[in-house]
Structure formats: C-alpha cells, structure tokens
Amino acid sequence: MSNVYEKLVALLDCEGAKYRVIEHPAEGRSDLVAAIRGTAPGQGAKAMLCRAKDDGRSLVLAILPGDKKLDFKMVAEAGGLKKATLASAEEAERETGCVIGAIPPFSFSPDIRLVVDPGLVENFDEIAFNAGRLDRSMVLNSADYVRIAQPLVKPLCV
C-alpha cells in the first residue's frame, strides 16, 4: 500500500500549502498528541471513518475538533445516509491505509466522502493532525486545508 504520509507531503508541496511536520513518540489519542504538539485540543483534526448502517457501503470520513464528540445523526445527514455508524478498525485501515489515530483529514479515495465540522476550520488559523502515521503530525494552515481537501463543511458534533 502506498505511503499516506508521502502522499500528503507531495500533495501539500504541490499545492503550495503552509504546513510544518512534527516528529514525536507514537500517539493516537487526541488529547495526548495535542500536548505533545503544543497545540490546543480543539485544533486537532480527529478523523473518524463512518459507514452507512443500512447498506454498509457508503463511507464518510468525518473530521471534527479533537475535543468534541461525533453526532452520528449529523454524520448521516451530511453524508446523505439513513443512519451512520463507526467503521471497524479493520475496515478503516483497509479503506484509508492508516491505523485508527493516524488517519489524516484527507480522502484519497473516490469512495470516501469527506465532511469537516465548521468548528475546526473556522475557530483556528491552523489545524493539526497525525499524518498517516502515529509518530508524525502536521500543522496545516486552515484555509489551505479547505482549499486543497475540498471537504463538505457541515456540523458533525454533539
């Protein structure tokens, strides 16, 4: 499987994004990795792969502030699904190429719809996220993130 971290660096460089890379001990929990990065917990882009409960095929990568909780009704509404549920760890890894906690806020698959909560990109000039690996983070300009990733911006939090 191709390296998601390398894909991210290539994409961001190609698009002229303002970002920096932080190497750190492997960590997947939002609160702990925020302390390591020196960023606010709400600045962290928590990526959660969700799937349709009825057909199980429709996928939504929900991106929310690291200090918030996901509302599955809002995910379903944003993704055009009847009901949404969290994908299994195995399914998330298979679909994104990343372990849980390392999934970046980008979709490299046409099968995964990308939705970001406005609280993440409107409240901070920069977002922070694990960049395809648990031991490497990126801090990326929020406007560059929206321009490059082109997510659907819809409320997703409880």
Report pLDDT digits (tens) over 122-147. 999 999 999 999 999 999 999 999 99
pLDDT more than 90, % of the chain:
86
CATH architecture of 4-152: Alpha-Beta Complex (3.90)
Q: How far apart are CA 143 and CA 81, in angstroms?
A: 28
Q: Please name the residues in contact with 32: beta carbons below 8 A apart, sequence gap of 6 or more.
A: none
Residue 24: per-residue pLDDT: 92
- pLDDT at residue 1 greater than cutoff 50: no
Q: What is the 3-state secondary structure (H, E, C) of the chain?
A: CCCHHHHHHHHHHHCCCCEEEEECCCCCCHHHHHHHHCCCHHHEEEEEEEEECCCCCCEEEEEEECCCCECHHHHHHHHCCCCEEECCHHHHHHHHCCCCCCCCCCCCCCCEEEEECHHHHHHCCEEEEEEEECCEEEEEEHHHHHHHHCCEECCCEC
Residue recorded with tokens 């406005």:
118
- Give Cα 64 distance to the centre of its chain: 7
The pLDDT of 105-124, averaged and rounded, is 96
Task: Please report, in angstroms and rounded to a whole number, the separation of the first and last CA atoms in the chain.
Answer: 34
The pLDDT of 17-44, averaged and rounded, is 90
pTM (predicted TM-score): 0.94
Q: How far apart are CA 60 and CA 57, in angstroms?
A: 10
Q: Is-contact 151 63, C-beta < 8 A?
A: yes
- pLDDT at residue 56 greater than cutoff 80: no
